[in-house]
Amino acid sequence: MEETLEFAEKAHAGKPQLPLALRLIRNTGVLKRHIVQPIEKTLRHPGLTERNRIYEAESKKWTPPVIEEALKNADVSARDIDAIIYVSCTGFMMPSLTAWLINKMGFRPDTRQIPIAQLGCAAGGAAVNRAHDFCLAHPASNVLIVSCELCSLCYQPDADDIGSLLSDGLFGDAVAAAVVRGNGGVGIELERNASYLIPHTEDWISYAVKDTGFHFQLDRRVPGTMEPLAPVLREFAKDHSWDIGSLDFYIVHAGGPRILDDLAKFLDVDRQVFRHSWATLTEYGNIASAVVFDAARRLFEEAAPAAGATGLIAGFGPGITAEMALGSWSADGPQPLD
């Protein structure tokens, strides 16, 4: 955080909006972030071609070891995976990285490829939901989810509006992976999922695609979106005969401190129930679609919930879109794969 503030003061010295931006950055609660390049390189713009080359090189560098760990944790091999969902909104490749992963890591040639590129921070929740749908449609299947968000490669040195400056102090880089097993395993047993788009808010979070790449655009109304979304989450849980305020765990996208504080307020829960999301925000910043997977990791590493404990997974992003899932903790352990 100290480095962020120092660089911001140097890069935007004399700008009238700088004092407000610095105050907003200090209030994010982010103490540390990780980026794939040294900060000096990150602050320069070598052009879209070079940035996308870096995105491809770094994604190929960092995803395999993370995937290997996820497969090991799920007690499956690459040959057991029936579909790969790849989520990223910070670079572009065609074919998707899924093709390279299949060739590189020994996945079967008939593995389905499901890239998700334009849901931003909501894509983590969307990936969980689409994996759930796939396993329901294809019983006993296993789905690998890979999230690669290199947000620092979208930094625009000339963008000095409040939204851009705030995002420069909020977003971090991360790679995450998770496996949704069709049967067996330890973790969150998915039971229900849903999507919701707040009408007429599609321009609140967006990219302006220019010669210099992706320019992140953030409307000042975005932090207030939990007020209309909280009733949606409440009704979603009610339809499953659960009380949204009485669940045992919450895996929620950490878009910023107000998002988490407002959600706690409008769901009438203690902000501590979002402790895993708060920890992700503090230690890594907003890591886009990877947030829900890091928060879930923290749940796994904490004292295990009791069997049957109920919980929510929720991702929020452009649209404004909410991707929601309900599940209960399963501690049965791995079962033989079909």
What residues are labeled active site?
A: 121
- Using CA atoms, how far apart are residues 140 and 61, in angstroms rounded to an integer? 31
- Cα 253 from Cα 247, distance rounded (Å): 17
| HEC letters along the chain | CHHHHHHHHHHCCCCCCHHHHHHHHHCCCCCCCCCCCCHHHHCCCCCHHHHHHHHHHHHHHHHHHHHHHHHHHHCCCHHHCCEEEEECCCCCCCCCHHHHHHHHHCCCCCCEEEEECCCHHHHHHHHHHHHHHHHHHCCCCEEEEEEEEEHHHHCCCCCCCHHHHHHHCCECEEEEEEEEECCCEEEEEEEEEEEEECCCCCCCEEEEEECCEEEEEECCCHHHHHHHHHHHHHHHHHCCCCCHHHCCEEEECCCCHHHHHHHHHHHCCCHHHHHHHHHHHHHHCECHHHHHHHHHHHHHHCCCCCCCCEEEEEEEECCCEEEEEEEEEEEEECCCCC
Contact assessment for residue 219 and residue 163, using Cβ atoms and an 8 Å cutoff: yes
Distance CA 167, CA 202 (A): 18
Beta bridge partners of 315: 323
* Helix pair 48-74, 97-105: axis angle to 10 deg: 50
